[in-house]
Structure 1
């Protein structure tokens, strides 16, 4: 089964032949190696690049163990570069190489060396890239399959059935190789525990791994809810009878973010035009991993749809914040009171901005009013939108708010530009 990922291929193509190291990052098993060793290599072949000018090494392969020695790797690559034509150096799982930073830096000034690497989160996390290659690297962030990518390989006859499956099992590419739901679930549960958590525990020598695992469970159970380390500390104290401190919780959350398992969305005061650092929301990079962590017991469509929309917006390149609108209104007694209204997503990309609400359905006028209240209190000209579940026709209501169904939003690249 081949799943084409043109967005990421085009990103790689756009930075070809630059002197920077091209670093492909993302959660483990999300398709980084396939992108580099299959899709990109095929592109090079189609461009007429011969095999001798593509130096590709899978450093996780036991047969390439000798190249995990930095000097052996340098010697091997140098031995392959026999002329002045461009050589494309593709290194998978580069963290397997001791002192890999020095190896990569050795080729930055080599004019006919074009270097691309991937690395697993156990050794090559996002912060490492910033530290080791500041100003000399280009990061290409790869996400699990978008719904459109998933749909292209799904066996379902219609998009709505595929979406229901996608919201349960997520977009990790290998899940599509399994026919049975039980096999999909077992794969995801094993992946979370034996790969992701093990990576973090081993890298940072976390000895009391129960605390880390319980924190993951708490975050997974409360996607879309505002929280912070202090609130989580109180939760652990009252529910778990644990003495886990907020400082440790903050550190663990950072590790989960670095491992591309979760993302933090901070609050933004729309009228005051300023960020509010706490509390914040956390969303899972992949819905299947989130559901697997909870043994598929808490599959609430409204929360999953909010997480799904967040992920899609991030895949499209938007920065995504939680919006807050503060207003002052008269109560029944004539007193002025302050009210805060939440906008699910404030999305920014360059000069573009969108305000978006997620609503599983809006069956009554009261529900419509509830979902539109916050948007109507945003006094600027940027587009306001409500994304709803189901297949109701997309339209613009009398207040100028775009109502778009989830399928249209996910499958139409220009869906935000109605």
Structure 2
């Protein structure tokens, strides 16, 4: 069996062993969450001396474990398999398939309306109980942010460690691919890093797999789960987002485009609900716009990036391979994988138009933050000519602060810094060397 090592995530799991928290591994379907737990992490535990009998592996997608979607039955099953005082590791795959069940022992008439949730047992209740036992360490995976990521702090009562998993980074892809860096980059830009697509032996197999995967996730994780009735409008919206990754937009603009071009018959409110569904399924990430000098966020417009360029290209039938936008998308995903928060930067500058001096807003592709660190990054596929270079640099030079400023261009240029403190680097070394950001 071919194994693509995911050392970045394995280290996080090892570091969090028996920390008194539920380890919640989130991410888009088929990005490798189940394989990480059931194969890579299991192998690590066995190599460390853990008995196979002390690893309880439950996959709620499998027919044999379907009954365990009932949290009460899940709880009983785990305790039945933890009879000895030895340390046990409990893996529950696709926990979002668990449903809540009514508690028969509670008199419903005694519960006020605002506390009706207390009438039900959920997987949160079960997992919170299990991690309170000294010999049980719990790990769960989930493919839906609405049921997991956004509710972790509240429902796990601050007793959860979230590990968000992405498709293969370029560095992970390159370690596996049998080709030089330039050829690997060209392939990664088109087919992305979904593990089974990477393992496919031909381009035709990759394209077929990615098209089918996007369609199945689209249908199961969005249309069915969210009860979408206007599937035509959702499909047109998804194509619009995929076609314009990295472009500023808002629900009103999207609704106008869909109604004018595709006659989708969709309202701003419905567009907003569909966008939320696409985010909750991890197919797209929304990035907010930040006024660098004014130190405030704008409500709109925002940007959207695809979780994987291969899935994005598959949805468009591999007809819009635009290197400029795809490179920007890859850089965004890489920054998020490394644990940074990312915003779109806006800087107010004074410019001449029609012979008049006017204030305008210019864009910085990424305002990157982690703790006290901050970087400004411009993505520029080519920097041909002085005019193009100055166009990219102008908003960076107008930030009014001394945080590092980086221009990432296409190619393999090693980093160098000009006399204004701007660092230039090719996208390939940027993606392969985290030390470039310090």
Q: Same fold (TM over 0.5)?
A: yes
Q: How does 1:331-410 map to 2 (within 5 A)?
A: 336-410=357-431
SS in 2 for 1:275: strand
Q: How does 1:188-267 map to 2 (within 5 A)?
A: 188-267=210-289
Change (3 A) 1:371 1:329: closer
Change (3 A) 1:195 1:341: closer
Deviation digits for residues 56-102 of structure 1 (CA, Å, limit 9, x no counterpart): 22232223344444444333321222222221111112334443334
Higher mean C-alpha deviation, range 383-392 or range 278-287 = 383-392
**Residue matched to 1:159:** 181
1:54, 1:203 → 2: CA distance? 31
Aligned residues: 415
SS in 1 for 2:285: strand
CA apart distance, 1:128: 4.8
Relative to the length of structure 2, the TM-score reads: 0.90
Change (3 A) 1:408 1:29: same
**Residue matched to 2:87:** 86
**Residue matched to 1:291:** 313
SS in 2 for 1:106: helix
Given that 1:354 and 1:383 are in contact with CA atoms closer than 8 Å, whether structure 2 keeps it comes out as: yes
**Residue matched to 1:185:** 207
1:267, 1:95 → 2: CA distance? 31
CA apart distance, 1:39: 1.2
1:379, 1:132 → 2: CA distance? 41
Given that 1:107 and 1:113 are in contact with CA atoms closer than 8 Å, whether structure 2 keeps it comes out as: yes
Given that 2:23 and 2:160 are in contact with CA atoms closer than 8 Å, whether structure 1 keeps it comes out as: yes
1:188, 1:140 → 2: CA distance? 24
CA apart distance, 1:135: 1.6
Deviation digits for residues 142-191 of structure 1 (CA, Å, limit 9, x no counterpart): 011000001111122x1110011001011100012212111101111110
1:331, 1:161 → 2: CA distance? 43
1:106, 1:116 → 2: CA distance? 14
CA apart distance, 1:54: 1.5
The reply on whether 1:17 has 2:18 as its aligned counterpart is yes
CA apart distance, 1:239: 0.8
Higher mean C-alpha deviation, range 193-202 or range 237-246 = 193-202
Change (3 A) 1:74 1:344: same
**Residue matched to 2:141:** 118
Relative to the length of structure 1, the TM-score reads: 0.94
Given that 2:376 and 2:396 are in contact with CA atoms closer than 8 Å, whether structure 1 keeps it comes out as: yes
Given that 2:145 and 2:282 are in contact with CA atoms closer than 8 Å, whether structure 1 keeps it comes out as: no
- Structure 2 runs not aligned, ≥5 long: 101-122
SS in 2 for 1:368: helix
**Residue matched to 1:310:** 332
Question: Over aligned residue pairs, what C-alpha RMSD do you find?
Answer: 1.9
2:182, 2:33 → 1: CA distance? 28
Change (3 A) 1:328 1:66: closer
1:305, 1:120 → 2: CA distance? 25
SS in 1 for 2:342: strand
Higher mean C-alpha deviation, range 47-56 or range 318-327 = 47-56
2:93, 2:171 → 1: CA distance? 26
- Structure 1 runs not aligned, ≥5 long: none
2:154, 2:243 → 1: CA distance? 33
2:330, 2:416 → 1: CA distance? 21
Change (3 A) 1:372 1:120: closer
2:284, 2:18 → 1: CA distance? 33
Deviation digits for residues 99-150 of structure 1 (CA, Å, limit 9, x no counterpart): 3334323313212111001123399453354553242222110011000001
2:264, 2:198 → 1: CA distance? 39
- Among 171, 176, 179, which residue is 1:148 paired with? 171
